[in-house]
Amino acid sequence: MAEQVRIAAERPVDLPASPGTAKRMIMITYVAYDMPPRIVYVDGENDTPEERARVISEDLEVARSSKPPTLNLP
């Protein structure tokens, strides 16, 4: 089922790759309806809407599978 997330922010960043080199990544902060804001990184050379959707989908799957338990208060 399709899910909509809101992109709260995006910006390019250079992350260290190997000594003396950096890799251009796109840092994306997104919000899903049932999660606090999360950050993912997309390769700057492969930054497409499809790649963003894939990276965010994978991140959500991992986040939801490791979600802490809830507690019902009286």
Q: What is the pLDDT of residues 48-74, one digit of tens each?
A: 999 999 999 999 999 989 877 889 999
**What pTM does this model have?**
0.82
For 53, residues 6+ apart whose C-beta sits below 8 A from its C-beta are none
Q: How far is it, in rounded angstroms, from Cα 74 to Cα 68?
A: 19
* 45 belongs to a structural domain: yes
Q: What total number of domains does the chain contain?
A: 1
* 67 belongs to a structural domain: no
Domain of 25? Answer: 6-62
* 41 belongs to a structural domain: yes
* 73 belongs to a structural domain: no
Confidence of residue 1 (pLDDT cuts 50, 70, 90): low
